[in-house]
Chains A and B, each alone.
Chain A
């Protein structure tokens, strides 16, 4: 796995990795990337012969103070290595009354297994997942909330 991480710089576009950070005690390295370049980087990690991370095992979102942090848990069915990529978006307002939607690029066109996670997160955290053609990922099988629901239940909100 260390060799593969060393190869990342030669495979990914220049300046793609903002930071390498240790994740947990066992899982090794998480790569911080810019949210705007997520799709581009994910495409390379999926298709480059040196990488072949063809399985998005999990996608998790957590609110840290005034930022939403997304973690993508990648795995390869070819060489069985795992890799984490992370990106974040700031929140202008963390009050329930003024909670705004936040945009992340969708990776569902790269990994089809991202759809359930993105549909869930979209509703529960108020995220708009932007597809390559400029439209947004729509509600589907994994949507959970009734159509008339307000606010985003998984956000940590402060009252005014």
Chain B
């Protein structure tokens, strides 16, 4: 027997006990309230060692009867409540509802109101993506990043407060326009914040995007293939990180997006000849989307239209005395929220209450696909996968 063969046999015999070692399958339950999950959500995983071999997710703990409550509110009151679809992306719920109602009522929105809505949406997108970065940084224990990003997000929340009076749940859109014109100095401050954020993105890149520990923690996990994206109807940055470049702002332009020059960021790579994206891609795409939103904001702020900020039929002063009624009809609107495509199917029977308001939130598809993404992953990567997908339970449960 040669020395090499002997060494090889010794190595094999040393490996054998480990390979033969049988471990019992264990079952873990997490949630519904767990800091590792976008609560409230229950996750049951079956583990072989540290490897997830089966997962089951239970949602519904946050069901509020949202769509039913909307049917009991007068038309004008529905806008404030649509904010609550998901408070962090509140302006998009308002917008989807207003667009559908305006389509039925054939209500023209003045160009200035469309510009103001667009500015609010892009500010909302940036603020939301910054919130995402904070949640992601918390998951990978990057304490410094949390403080830096929250510090900068305050500037955007200040802008919201300046124009709407609220930092979240703005209740600012109205059927046919917006509640008020931009306040003095608002546009200048938007441009200032854009300049500041362009500088800050370099800092974020240094702290996380190019950080060796962050890359090790996020690359190669939670692989979402382009075929899964299409099958499950995943939209937004999660889809674009996997190479599927669907963006409602381009596919079905609304507000004044057709006038804006912006790119649609996508993920970096293919793996095993298949197009897709991992947790790292999903983070990077959102960071790039902040850059694109800054460009859109600058263009919109510099070229904001003159004129009315609401159509004559429905001004805020009239609300108390003359309730707004959407005529008989139905419509379906789509908007691109920071999480993906939000659809709103609206039916009016001509009464003072909506007959049906149904939202198609992007997180439905994200929650459906996550059961598949977890299979084969290590249990320690579960919180990172959830954070990278950024599932909004409020909009799923409604």
* Pairwise interchain contact B230-A116, C-beta atoms closer than 8 A: no
Q: Are B367 and A141 in contact (CB under 8 A)?
A: yes
The reply on B316 being an interface residue by CB < 8 A is: no
* Secondary structure of the B contact surface, majority rule: mixed
The yes or no answer to B350 lying at the interface (CB within 8 A) is no
The CA of A63 and the CA of B57, in the complex, are separated in Å by 30
| Chain B residue at minimal CB-CB distance from A56 | B233
Q: Separation in Å of the A143 CB from the closest CB of chain B?
A: 6
- Taking a contact as CB atoms under 8 Å apart, the answer to whether B232 and A112 are in contact is yes
A93 at the interface (CB under 8 A from B): no
Contact with A along B355-398 (1 / 0, CB 8 A): 11010100011011001000000000000000000000000110
Interface residue count on the B side (C-beta < 8 Å): 38
Contact of A95 with B by CB under 8 A: no
Asked if B251 CB lies within 8 Å of chain A CBs, one says: yes
Interface of A (DSSP majority class): loop
**CB within 8 Å of B: which of A53-111?**
54-58, 60-64, 71, 73, 77, 80
The yes or no answer to A43 lying at the interface (CB within 8 A) is no
Q: How far is the CA of A112 from the CA of B368 in the complex (A)?
A: 9
Indicate the member of B233, B343, B371 with the most A CB atoms within 10 Å. Answer: B233
Count of chain A to chain B residue pairs whose CB atoms are closer than 8 Å in the complex? 88
Any A CB within 8 A of the CB of B332 = yes
Within 8 A of A (CB), among B316-334: 329-332
Residues B343 and A73 in contact, CB atoms below 8 Å apart: yes
Question: Given the complex, which residues of B lie within 8 Å of A62, measured CB to CB?
Answer: 345, 347, 355-356, 358
Q: Does A26 contact B (CB under 8 A)?
A: yes
Q: Is B329 touching A115 in the complex (CB atoms < 8 A)?
A: no
A24 at the binding interface (Cβ < 8 Å): yes
Q: Which of A26, A61, A77 contacts B230 (CB 8 A)?
A: A77
- Please state if B63 and A57 are interface contacts (CB–CB under 8 Å): no
- 1/0 per residue, CB under 8 A from A, across B51-81: the answer is 0000011111001010110000000000000
Nearest CB of chain B from residue A28's CB, rounded to whole Å: 11
Instruction: Establish whether residues B368 and A113, one from each chain, have CB atoms under 8 Å apart when the complex forms.
Output: yes
Check B21 for interface membership: any CB of A closer than 8 A.
no
**Complex-state Cα separation, A27 to B232, whole angstroms:** 23
B143 at the interface (CB under 8 A from A): no
Give the number of residues in A that approach B within 8 Å (Cβ atoms): 31
Q: How far is the CB of A141 from chain B (nearest CB, A)?
A: 5
* A37 close to B (CB within 8 Å): no
**Candidates A56, A60, A113, A154; contact of B345 at CB < 8 Å:** A60
Chain A residues, CB < 8 A from B104: 24-25
A47 to B68, CA, bound (A): 36
State A67–B367 Cα separation when bound (angstroms): 31
Contact of B360 among A57, A80, A142 (CB under 8 A): A57
Q: How far is the CB of A78 from chain B (nearest CB, A)?
A: 10
A residues 95-143 in Cβ contact with B at 8 Å? 112-113, 115-117, 141-143
A63 and B68 alpha carbons, distance in the complex (Å)? 12
Residues of B participating in the A interface, judged by any CB pair closer than 8 Å: 56-60, 63, 65, 67-68, 103-104, 106, 230-233, 244, 246, 251, 329-332, 341, 343, 345, 347, 355-356, 358, 360, 364-365, 367-368, 371, 396-397
Q: Which residues of A contact B (CB under 8 A)?
A: 23-27, 54-58, 60-64, 71, 73, 77, 80, 112-113, 115-117, 141-145, 153-154
With A60-B356, A62-B358, A116-B367 already in contact, 18 other A-B pairs whose C-beta atoms are closer than 8 Å:
A24-B330, A25-B106, A54-B230, A55-B233, A57-B343, A57-B360, A58-B358, A58-B360, A62-B345, A63-B356, A64-B355, A71-B345, A77-B246, A116-B368, A141-B56, A142-B368, A145-B60, A145-B63
